[in-house]
Structure 1
Amino acid sequence: MKRAVLFDVGDTLILGHPKFWLWPLLHERGIAGKADTSRLMEAVMAAYRVYNERHMQATTVETALPVWADFHLTLLSGIGLGEHAEEIVGFLRDNWQNPKVWPLTPGAKEVLGELKGRGYKLGVVSNWDALLPGVLEATGLAPYFDFVAASALVGAAKPDPRIFRVVLEGLGVEPHQALHVGDSPDDLGGAAAAGVEAVLFDPYRRNPEALHELWGVLERLEA
């Protein structure tokens, strides 16, 4: 029987696609129409390359904010908004704990609350920098979790199974007693290497019902 559920954060509990957090900011400034959406996918991939190359060294808020600034600058420049980048990057830096910058997947809080109410231990396994605890606080997700592991803070990133082992130890459960929910092959591979069963989750294809299907998954595991 499962005793714990582990979650990825980006593109699982928080919607990372720019249309959910960047486009509202562009509309507020009247510049959304200037963005070259044909270059969006390429720009997103370039921005994540910048982030992934540096995030493991971002072990404090002070070192993490410049990494995110470069992420945002790369993204904005990539969609042809370089002339507006300084203003938007500055806003995002100063408002990194503003929940509208981190839109939640529909159903996230409801599912976490249901799992908590059923007695499951909840943990985070996320390739993220030192901002993660503050982001979880800002979005109201922090109270649901019993243990949080950000890769930069534990020194291992998915698919390295060590980050899973840190969370399992922190929760006091064995690998077979946990289920991991994430959106990428790294989630599946890392969980498998740690002996943890995993569920691949796509919050965009399944919106707005999103996480609600987890209840059925867990009921089958409990049967």
Structure 2
Amino acid sequence: MFDGVLFDFSGTLFDDRSVLDPAREAVGDDTITRVLSVVDSPEGIEARRGCDVSHERHRAVWTALIAEAGPYSKEVVGAIYSALTDPAAWKPYPDTARVVTALHERGTRIGVLSNIGWDIRPALADAGVLDVLDTVVLSCEHGVEKPDPTLFTLACDKLGLAPGSVLYVGDDPVKDGAAVKVGMPVYLLPTERSAADDRGLDAVLRLA
């Protein structure tokens, strides 16, 4: 049993694969496909390393990668970046609110700890879970990102709990799995997922 649970955001509570879909209507499928091919390439992934330590860094890195896929006008780059950071474009998995609310009703302390370059609180509010969270820790607000142990320690401190009593739930073996460095138990969700199906978060209720 655990006194607290910390969740990752993207790919754990919210689906990260369709956030650019709203931009498709404005810029077209081909443009989005080209952008994704750049940002998800080995070079793009390397360029994005450390981009979540601040709002400014996130915007600079992502807009540069989007422009590189073109070149595209400032208007096109801006439209795509706006879609990426639009809370309304991020959809929770069907079991997100149910599981988070159930944990809250049990008296479990709950938080979200995310590598992110923008404020996800409006998305959490839209999903109906912000009010039951005890803390939201964002890398862009603290100048450090996972897998740095500092961020996990900070989140546990904000919950008022020792790391060993807090379960971390994520989907990245490297970034999220690093929670073990501060003594946190970790539950990693499976890679395979569908936006239409539950993410498998009910397992957290059994663990916690």
Normalising by structure 2, we get a TM-score of: 0.79
One of 21, 24, 43 as aligned partner of 2:22: 24
1:68-116 Cα distance to aligned partner (Å, 9 max, x none): 36414524643xx544x53343335666774332222332222212222
- Aligned AA (1:144): V
1:155, distance to aligned residue in structure 2 (A) = 3.6
RMSD: 3.1
Distance 2:83 2:37 in 1: 25
CA contact (8 A) 1:146 1:171 kept: yes
Q: Alignment partner for residue 162 of structure 1, among 144, 150, 153?
A: 150
Cα 1:65–1:210 change in 2 (3 A) is: farther
After superposition, the Cα gap between the structure-2 partners of 1:36 and 1:175, relative to the gap in structure 1 and judged at 3 Å, is closer
2:94 to 81, 101, 106: 106
State the SS of the aligned residue for 2:49: helix
| Alpha-carbon shift at residue 140 of structure 1 (Å) | 4.5
Equivalent residue number for residue 202 of structure 2: 215
The SS at the match of 1:210 is coil
Mark the runs of 5 or more structure 2 residues left unpaired by the alignment: none
Cα distance in 2, alignment partners of residues 125 and 109 from structure 1:
16
SS of residue matched to 1:12: coil
Take 1:162 and 1:66, find their aligned partners in 2: how far apart are those partners? 20
More helix by proportion, 1 or 2?
A: 1
Which residue in 2 is equivalent to 1:61? none
CA contact (8 A) 1:187 1:198 kept: no
SS of the equivalent of 2:202 reads helix
> 1:91 maps to what in 2?
79
Secondary structure of the 1:157 match is: coil
> 1:74 aligns to what?
65
How far apart, in 2, do the equivalents of 1:96 and 1:43 lie?
Answer: 12
In 1, distance between residues paired with 2:89 and 2:173? 25
Residues 35 and 66 of structure 2 are in contact (CA less than 8 Å); yes or no, is this contact kept in structure 1?
no
Query: How many residue pairs were aligned?
Result: 207
